[in-house]
């Protein structure tokens, strides 16, 4: 049994197109095969900057609401966002259940290991992995953080130099597009799979706030995800369509990735 947790949050992004993430989350959630869809009643408003993070209060409240929604779900959960910050509470829940055995496969064009000191925009979706490792603000950081050995970055090609230094210092495993398959070599469960749609090549999927050239082919990503044993949770994030309805071709991409995750 699979439940889709729809989290139409936009406040973690600094893009002018961030409000499109709301419709994107709802549209993508309808494309994921599931026995039920639970929509988190996230805040619609933004907010000021606190501790270097824009819309901090809204993000903290949204995370509280997401944890509350998760508490009532016993199925496999596929979280659909919204910006990448929607994944903190589900990963925190997976960490609590599977402990040190959990691996988080973070499939994203960006490594998301900024801090408020290195990201002038204050966009928290660029800081999510760092927060998951325990280096984040109160209310947005799990009580039991992940260890660096539990995280694999895959498909990254647009990280900042400060992020690459952090990856080197912490020893986080990182694979780009050219060696994407290596991220999946020997991968065993329990695995949580995070997919930021901007990992895909914009020629195949362009409805994201931060498209990056030379990305992953959707067919290859779906094939690799299908080979992962024991997926215990997953997310599809950062869908930002221009209108209320997705491009038919892009809808098929989301369906294919969702089928691979929920098989």
**Stretch 45-60: mean pLDDT:** 95
Local confidence band at 188 (pLDDT 50, 70, 90 cut-offs): confident
pLDDT tens per residue, range 153-182 = 999 999 999 999 999 999 999 999 999 999
Tell me how far apart the alpha carbons of residues 25 and 39 are, in angstroms, rounded to a whole number: 10
Strand spans (E) along the chain: 2-7, 36-39, 49-50, 53-54, 76-81, 103-107, 151-154, 173-175, 191-196, 231-237
pLDDT tens per residue, range 125-135 = 999 999 999 99
**Stretch 129-147: mean pLDDT:** 96
Q: How much is the pTM?
A: 0.97
Return the ∠ at Cα 211 (arms to 134 and 224), rounded to 5°: 70
- Average pLDDT of the chain? 96
Q: What share of the chain in percent tops pLDDT 70? A: 100
**Residue 124, both tokens:** 């928290």
Q: In this predicted structure, what is the pLDDT of residue 202? A: 98
**Residue 193, both tokens:** 């799979």
CA atoms within 13 A on the CB side of 116: 12
Local confidence band at 1 (pLDDT 50, 70, 90 cut-offs): confident
**Residue 162, both tokens:** 């400060």
Tell me how far apart the alpha carbons of residues 56 and 12 are, in angstroms, rounded to a whole number: 9
């Amino acid at each position: 049994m699979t439940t889709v947790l729809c989290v139409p949050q936009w406040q973690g992004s600094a893009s002018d197109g961030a409000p499109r993430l709301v419709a994107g989350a709802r549209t993508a959630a309808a494309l994921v095969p599931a026995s039920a869809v639970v929509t988190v009643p996230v805040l619609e408003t933004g907010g000021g900057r606190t501790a270097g993070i824009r819309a901090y209060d809204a993000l903290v409240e949204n995370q509280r609401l997401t944890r509350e929604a998760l508490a009532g779900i016993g199925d496999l959960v596929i979280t659909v966002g919204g910006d990448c910050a929607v994944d903190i509470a589900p990963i925190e829940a997976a960490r609590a259940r599977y402990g040190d055995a959990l691996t988080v496969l973070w499939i994203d064009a960006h490594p998301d290991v900024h801090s408020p000191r290195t990201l002038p925009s204050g966009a928290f979706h660029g800081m999510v992995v760092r927060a998951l490792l325990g280096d984040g603000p109160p209310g947005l950081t799990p009580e039991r953080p992940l260890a660096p050995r539990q995280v694999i970055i895959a498909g990254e090609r647009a990280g900042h130099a400060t992020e690459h230094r952090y990856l080197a210092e912490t020893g986080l495993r990182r694979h780009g597009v050219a060696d994407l398959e290596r991220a999946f070599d020997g991968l065993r469960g329990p695995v949580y799979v995070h997919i930021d749609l901007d990992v895909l090549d914009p020629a195949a999927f362009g409805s994201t706030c931060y498209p990056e050239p030379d990305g992953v082919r959707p067919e290859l990503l779906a094939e690799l995800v299908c080979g992962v044993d024991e997926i215990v949770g997953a997310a599809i994030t950062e869908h930002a369509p221009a209108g209320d309805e997705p491009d038919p071709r892009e809808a098929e991409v989301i369906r294919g990735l969702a089928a691979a995750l929920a098989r």
